[in-house]
């Protein structure tokens, strides 16, 4: 929280707000920067000594003033002398062409009397209904439209809204339905995992993997030469186009020297969550020629070696992983804990069977999936599980996508937890994703079962059709 007091100084309120944008720390001093929860935990509340409208208007005005370097009038003077790319070479906009562009804008009411861009142009541009340019200018339509877009247009700035109410996505009556509460009672159990294996077996597999697959790319550098363009313009400089590249060559570094001292054991131990002693045994066991690659490119060596070791570790984990339930359970408040700020640009249409009025979606796959869920006669209620619901795994916490309750007697598996992916091919899933999914299978096999036959089924599906195939199968 930060308090902005009224002041006569000239310090921009954008800077004042910026000083408050610091990531918080917990009681142990750990920075709250987990990608999963960073936007939910770190919320800056600004308390200003003026009305919301005045504060937002002033902040918006400063944002506009920060863009004063951009031209504001789409007139002949602006267009004259600009360079546009033709098929064979760059062409400079002549006086006649510039006058023609201005007349086109005036004739179609795309500019007002002061030659400012109008709402009519903005709407036509967004809808793809711009009037055709005159015949002599038509070959350069894309380039000319690009020049027009380069004029500062205040209408393009997003309007700030007081959405302290509209950003909330409260739970609805579906959350309290008996079917969802029974499903929630089957999956909200917390658990710990155990993995038991012999260190010597892991060390042997890691040595074999590094010897077979660790290939480090030697450091290379690229030399690029360029020359300043003729007919230099203000816009070209502003857009970073005043130089053009005319030669480029790559070379391999023959020797690598660095003032940075690497603690190789510490780096690998931290990345793989293994002990320094284990890492030392792995590195001393690999072939000397493989270890010699460290000198050629230390960063590449560390990143690839870490990845290969983690993959071997993950394989062994899946084979020997077990889950044990603990007394603690997830409380229902995790469904409301992240309601402070919501990004409604990713929201679905208003839904009928979801526990929230809207679902905040991560992909087109999820969008199509939820559309089918909401109209399905076999489904009673469903939920996009909040990020606070996490299954512990040796490669990081895992948050499943969906919890779904089906009508009794309509399918074999009434209670279902789903992960939606664009593909089921394990070759296209990242190693960590595949490992977490396999861990989730073990979790629900152990924790999601009950004394009745109505245990929780977990699987990965690509769409609604695949979901129905799974819940109807044995």
| Total tally of structural domains belonging to the chain | 4
- Residue 274: Cβ-neighbour burial (10 angstroms; 0-12, 13-18, 19+): buried
Confidence of residue 241 (pLDDT cuts 50, 70, 90): low
Q: What is the predicted pLDDT for the residue at 161?
A: 47
Instruction: For residue 14, give every residue at least 6 positions away whose Cβ sits within 8 Å of its Cβ, in sequence order, or none.
Output: 59, 62, 63, 66
How confident is the model at residue 428, as a pLDDT?
Answer: 45
Residue given tokens 């709407």 in the structure block: 123
Span 405-424, mean pLDDT?
78
Residue 236 included in any domain: no
Task: Tell me the C-alpha distance between 33 and 42, whole Å.
Answer: 9
Report the distance separating Cα 236 and Cα 83, nearest Å.
9
Q: Are 81 and 95 in contact (CB under 8 A)?
A: no
Cut 0.75: pTM above it? no
121-146 pLDDT per residue, tens:
888 887 778 888 988 888 888 888 88
Q: How many Cβ atoms from other residues are within 10 Å of residue 386's Cβ?
A: 19
Domain membership of residue 454 as a residue range: 173-188+330-472
Which pLDDT tens digit goes with each residue over 341-353?
Answer: 566 777 888 899 9
pLDDT for residue 191 is more than 80: yes
Amino acid 471: pLDDT: 85
Residue 377 shares a structural domain with residue 461: yes
Q: What's the rounded mean pLDDT across residues 234-256?
A: 70
Tell me, yes or no, whether 70 lies in a domain: no
Please give the Cα distance from 405 to 244 (Å, whole number): 60
pLDDT at 416: 83
With beta carbons less than 8 A apart as the criterion, state whether 379 and 406 touch.
yes
| pLDDT value, residue 56 | 61
In a domain, 230, yes or no: no
User: 338 with 416, same domain?
Assistant: yes
Please tell me whether residues 424 and 363 are part of one structural domain: yes
Range picked from 231-240, 250-259, 299-308 for highest mean pLDDT: 299-308
Q: What integer pLDDT is reported at residue 5 of this predicted model? A: 59
Residues 373, 290 share a domain: no
250-267: average pLDDT:
75
pLDDT, residue 450, reads: 46
Nearest alpha-carbon partner for 5 in 80, 64, 55, 75:
55
Are 178 and 280 found together in one domain? no
Report the relative pairing of strands 415-420 and 402-406 from DSSP bridges: antiparallel
Give domain status of residue 115, yes or no. yes
Rounded CA-CA distance 21/433 in Å is: 32
Give yes or no for residue 206 having a pLDDT over 70: yes
pLDDT bracket for residue 339 (50, 70, 90): low
- Phi, then psi, of 424 in degrees rounded to 5: -100, -5
What band does 205 get if pLDDT is binned at 50, 70 and 90?
A: very high
What percent of the chain is modeled with pLDDT above 90? 21
- Whether 362 and 464 map to the same domain: the answer is yes
Integer-rounded Cα Rg, in Å, for the chain is: 30
User: Does one domain contain both 182 and 199?
Assistant: no
Residue 243 has pLDDT above 90, yes or no: no
- Between 219 and 293, whose confidence is greater? 293
Q: Is a pLDDT exceeding 90 seen at residue 355?
A: yes
Q: Is residue 404 part of a domain?
A: yes
What confidence score (pLDDT) does residue 6 get? 57
Residue scoring higher pLDDT (431 or 38): 38
Task: Tell whether 83 and 127 lie within a shared domain.
Answer: yes
Q: Which of 49-63, 76-90, 202-216 has the lowest mean pLDDT?
A: 49-63
Give the per-residue pLDDT at 114: 84
Q: Which long-range contacts (CB under 8 A, 24 or more apart) does 179-186 make?
A: 179/380, 179/381, 179/405, 180/355, 180/380, 180/381, 180/383, 180/403, 180/405, 182/405, 182/415, 183/381, 183/403, 183/404, 183/405, 183/415, 183/456, 184/332, 184/403, 186/415, 186/448, 186/450, 186/455, 186/456
Residues 308 and 288 reside in one and the same domain: yes
The C-alpha atoms of residue 310 and residue 395 are separated, in whole angstroms, by: 8
Other Cβ atoms within 10 Å of 304 Cβ, number: 18
Is residue 157 pLDDT above 60, yes or no?
A: no
Using CA atoms, how far apart are residues 200 and 81, in angstroms rounded to an integer? Answer: 73
Region 28-44: what's the mean pLDDT? 75
Three-state SS for 189? strand
| Higher pLDDT, residue 372 or 455 | 372
Of 272, 297, 321, the residue at which a domain comes to its end is 321
Contact criterion met (CB below 8 Å) for 444 and 321: no
The residue-averaged pLDDT of 177-195 equals 91
CA–CA dist 407, 399 (Å, integer): 25
pLDDT tens, position by position, 73-112: 888 888 888 888 766 667 888 888 989 999 999 999 998 8
The predicted pLDDT at position 298 comes to 86
pLDDT above 70: residue 148: yes
At residue 406, does pLDDT exceed 80? yes
| Percentage of the chain exceeding pLDDT 70 | 75
d(CA 409, CA 399): 29
| Domain end point (choices 269, 295, 321) | 321
Structure confidence at residue 3 (pLDDT): 60
pLDDT surpasses 50 at 392: yes
Higher pLDDT pick, 317 / 62 = 317
Residue 452 pLDDT > 50? no
| 237 in any annotated domain | no
pLDDT recorded at residue 254 = 65
229 lies in a domain? no
Does residue 245 lie within any of the structural domains? Answer: no
Give the end of a domain, one of 321, 338, 373: 321
SS3 call for 320? helix
Residues 151 and 61 in one domain: no
Please check the confidence at residue 261 and state whether its pLDDT lies above 80. Answer: no
């Amino acid at each position: 929280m930060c308090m902005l007091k009224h002041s006569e100084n000239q310090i921009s309120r954008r800077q004042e707000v910026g000083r408050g944008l610091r990531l918080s720390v917990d009681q142990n001093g750990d920075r709250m920067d987990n990608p999963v929860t960073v936007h939910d935990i770190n919320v800056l509340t600004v308390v200003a000594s003026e009305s919301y409208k005045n504060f937002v208007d002033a902040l918006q005005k400063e944002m506009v003033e920060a863009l004063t370097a951009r031209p504001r009038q789409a007139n002949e003077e602006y267009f004259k002398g600009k360079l546009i790319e033709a098929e064979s070479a760059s062409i400079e906009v002549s006086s006649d062409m510039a006058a023609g562009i201005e007349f086109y804008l005036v004739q179609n009411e795309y500019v007002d009397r002061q030659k400012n861009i109008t709402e009519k142009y903005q709407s036509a541009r967004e809808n793809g209904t711009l009037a055709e340019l005159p015949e002599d200018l038509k070959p350069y339509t894309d380039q000319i439209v690009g020049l027009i877009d380069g004029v500062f247009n205040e209408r393009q700035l997003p309007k700030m809204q007081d959405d302290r109410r509209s950003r909330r996505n409260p739970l609805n009556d579906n959350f309290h339905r008996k079917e969802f509460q029974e499903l929630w009672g089957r999956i909200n159990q917390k658990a710990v995992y155990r993995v038991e294996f012999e260190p010597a077996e892991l060390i042997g597999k890691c040595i074999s993997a590094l010897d077979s697959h660790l290939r480090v790319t030697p450091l290379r550098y690229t030399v690029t030469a360029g020359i300043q363009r003729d007919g230099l313009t203000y816009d070209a400089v502003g857009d970073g186009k005043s130089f053009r590249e005319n030669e480029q060559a790559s070379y391999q570094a023959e020797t690598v020297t660095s003032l940075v001292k690497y603690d190789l054991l510490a780096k690998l131990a931290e990345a793989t969550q293994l002990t320094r002693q284990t890492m030392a045994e792995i590195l001393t066991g690999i072939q000397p020629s493989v270890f010699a690659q460290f000198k050629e490119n230390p960063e590449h060596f560390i990143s690839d070696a870490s990845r290969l070791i983690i993959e071997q570790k993950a394989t062994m984990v899946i084979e020997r992983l077990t889950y044990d339930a603990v007394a603690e359970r997830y409380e229902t408040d995790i469904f409301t804990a992240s309601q402070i700020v919501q990004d409604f640009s990713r929201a679905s249409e208003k839904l009928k069977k979801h526990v929230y009025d809207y679902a905040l979606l991560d992909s087109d796959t999820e969008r199509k999936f939820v559309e089918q869920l909401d109209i399905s006669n076999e489904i009673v209620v469903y939920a996009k599980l909040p990020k606070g619901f996490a299954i512990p795994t040796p490669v990081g916490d895992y948050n499943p996508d969906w919890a779904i309750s089906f009508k009794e007697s309509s399918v074999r598996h009434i209670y279902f937890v789903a992960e939606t992916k664009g593909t089921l091919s394990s070759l296209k899933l990242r190693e960590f994703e595949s490992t977490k999914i396999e861990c989730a299978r073990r979790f629900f096999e152990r924790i999601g079962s009950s004394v009745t036959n109505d245990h929780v089924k977990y699987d990965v599906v690509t769409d609604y059709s695949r979901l129905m195939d799974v819940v109807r199968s044995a």
